[in-house]
């Protein structure tokens, strides 16, 4: 049974005492910790009894004393495609889905949002679509009459070269006279950041990225400089060591996917504060559904080798101090929104990271690195009250985040008893 937690309002503050508190940042869990919050912000976090001036008048005891519960920040998915439905496995249905109008895609994406909240996903960094679904959701998120939904921001259409990979989510650089004009147009459309596609994708039959990079270092540098001139970050779809090199030297903020990263590239990423979003889930799902996908033994062998190498690289990246951000690539084949992030976190743990490091990758790390418009992802005074409360300790394994839990979002309390309908995700 989940505990009963009162709703917070602007005038009604909630005081909890929990057995374990994970703030999303520090490496040591807090034990027997107190937290006080209203619907707008966290007011107090600490091991000592809160001062009376921040409590409700006359309050002398917590609203709930929960010695067997763990409180942690709500989860941030740093790489999603909200215009896609990841749980659909039939290729014909997936192809038909993409033929729908932009309005139809937006109408299908909106019901996902409340489901994400109930799963404990409080924010999504959308990774691009040419149908402006992510932009519409980002603008909706910023309105005064915002519906019940996680925080969303979006780059709008990604930037690629005409005729190269990415046309389903990108529009070409060639449509503009200069890189600066291209970036400026994206930002006028409402983009929160700029998404670049410097490389192609993995050829699973050959077990490598075989296409030449589609962007030079100079092109990426120009696009990054343009984004920076407007105070915006850049994310780069990049796999294959040559294309990754172009992205690193071009100065992007995050490397998305990053398959076949080299050791020297990890060092440069650390030194330049470039974060890595490794997205195990979409490749793992190719292996999970190998029979359905018709993959032959050679492809299966390649998939296993690629994933094993990726896991080893991830561990090495953490040892070096590279910033790791959890992103599911939700919307990709077999990767449903929300549930895909939980799976991605389990895969990161399976690769060799501690549960606490995995939790940080989906909470405090993206909160600190990605310059969101709102303050969430950490349990610190001044941050928004967006948490997960569970008696199933995620410090034992992050798979426990699939078990019954509560999501607290801006004072409201939502129960998830693992019976959520996954259709449409």
Q: What is the pLDDT of residues 286-314, one digit of tens each?
A: 999 999 999 999 999 999 999 999 999 99
* 189 and 247 part of one domain: yes
Strand-pair partners of 44: 36
* 114 and 212 part of one domain: yes
CATH code of 317's domain = 3.20.20.140
Q: Is 5 helix (H, G, I), strand (E, B) or coil?
A: coil
* 154 and 294 part of one domain: yes
Pairing of strands 121-126, 151-153: parallel
Q: Please write the tens of the pLDDT for every residue from 109-154.
A: 999 998 999 899 999 999 999 999 999 999 999 999 999 999 999 9
* 187 and 336 part of one domain: yes
Number of domains in the chain: 2
* 265 and 406 part of one domain: no
CATH code of 411's domain = 2.30.40.10
* 119 and 51 part of one domain: no
Q: Name which of 377, 266, 374, 375 is nearest 315 in CA terms.
A: 266
Q: Name which of 255, 284, 285, 236 is nearest 128 in CA terms.
A: 236
* 27: confidence class by pLDDT, cuts 50, 70, 90: very high
* 294 and 395 part of one domain: no
Q: Is 261 helix (H, G, I), strand (E, B) or coil?
A: coil
Domain of 412, in residue numbers: 14-74+377-416
Q: Using CB atoms within 10 A of its CB, is residue 25 exposed (0-12), middle (13-18) or buried (19+)?
A: middle
Percent of the chain residues past pLDDT 90, beyond the cut: 96
Nearest-10 Cα torsion for 164, 166, 170, 176: -10
Please give the order of strands across the beta sheet that includes 151-153: 75-80, 121-126, 151-153
Q: What pLDDT is attached to residue 2?
A: 83
Rounded Cα distance between 342 and 74, Å, is 12
Structure tokens at 384: 């928004």
Instruction: With respect to residue 233, please indicate whether it lies within any of the assigned structural domains.
Output: yes
End-of-domain residue from the set 369, 388, 404: 369
* 410 and 320 part of one domain: no
pLDDT above 90: residue 417:
no
pTM, rounded to two decimals: 0.97
Orientation angle between helical segments 217-229 and 241-250, nearest 10 degrees: 40
Q: Where do the H-state alpha helices sit in 119-202?
A: 133-141, 179-188
pLDDT above 80: residue 359:
yes
Query: What average pLDDT score do residues 359-376 get?
Result: 98
Instruction: With respect to residue 421, please indicate whether it lies within any of the assigned structural domains.
Output: no
Instruction: With respect to residue 3, please indicate whether it lies within any of the assigned structural domains.
Output: no
* 200 and 60 part of one domain: no
Instruction: With respect to residue 349, please indicate whether it lies within any of the assigned structural domains.
Output: yes
Instruction: With respect to residue 96, please indicate whether it lies within any of the assigned structural domains.
Output: yes
* 160 and 204 part of one domain: yes
């Amino acid at each position: 049974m989940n505990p009963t937690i009162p709703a917070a309002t602007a005038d009604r503050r909630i005081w909890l005492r929990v057995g374990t508190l994970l703030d999303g940042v520090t490496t040591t869990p807090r034990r027997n910790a107190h937290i006080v919050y209203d619907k707008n912000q966290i007011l107090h976090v600490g091991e000592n009894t809160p001062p009376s001036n921040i409590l409700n008048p006359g309050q002398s005891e917590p609203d709930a004393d929960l010695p067997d519960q763990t409180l942690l920040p709500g989860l941030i998915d740093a790489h999603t495609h909200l215009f896609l439905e990841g749980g659909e496995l039939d290729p014909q249905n997936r192809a038909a889905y993409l033929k729908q109008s932009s309005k139809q895609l937006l109408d299908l994406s909106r019901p996902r949002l409340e489901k994400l909240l109930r799963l404990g996903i409080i924010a999504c960094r959308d990774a691009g679509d040419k149908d402006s679904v992510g932009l519409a959701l980002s603008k909706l998120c910023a309105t005064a009459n915002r519906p019940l939904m996680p925080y969303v921001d979006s780059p709008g259409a990604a930037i690629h070269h005409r005729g190269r990979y990415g046309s389903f989510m990108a529009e070409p650089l060639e449509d503009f006279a200069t890189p600066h004009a291209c970036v400026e147009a994206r930002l006028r459309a409402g983009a929160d950041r700029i998404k670049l596609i410097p490389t192609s994708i993995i050829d699973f039959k050959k077990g490598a990225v075989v296409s030449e990079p589609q962007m030079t270092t100079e092109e990426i540098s120009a696009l990054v400089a343009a984004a920076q001139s407007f105070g915006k970050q850049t994310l780069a779809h990049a796999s294959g060591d040559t294309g990754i090199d172009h992205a690193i030297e071009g100065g992007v903020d995050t490397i998305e996917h990053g398959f076949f990263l080299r050791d020297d590239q990890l060092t440069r990423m650390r030194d330049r504060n470039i974060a890595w979003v490794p997205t195990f889930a979409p490749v793992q799902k190719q292996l999970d559904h190998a029979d359905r996908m018709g993959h032959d033994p050679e492809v299966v062998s390649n998939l296993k080798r690629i994933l094993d190498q990726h896991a080893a690289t991830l561990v090495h990246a953490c040892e070096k101090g590279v910033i790791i951000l959890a992103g599911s690539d939700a919307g990709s084949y077999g990767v449903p929104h929300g549930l895909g992030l939980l799976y991605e976190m389990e895969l990161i743990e399976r690769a060799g990271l501690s549960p606490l490091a995995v939790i940080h990758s989906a909470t405090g790390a993206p909160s600190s690195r990605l310059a969101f418009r709102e303050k969430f992802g950490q349990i610190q005074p001044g941050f928004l009250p967006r948490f997960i409360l569970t008696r199933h300790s995620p410090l034992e394994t992050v798979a426990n985040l699939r078990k019954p839990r509560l999501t607290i979002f801006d004072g409201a309390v939502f129960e998830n008893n693992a019976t959520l309908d996954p259709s449409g995700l």
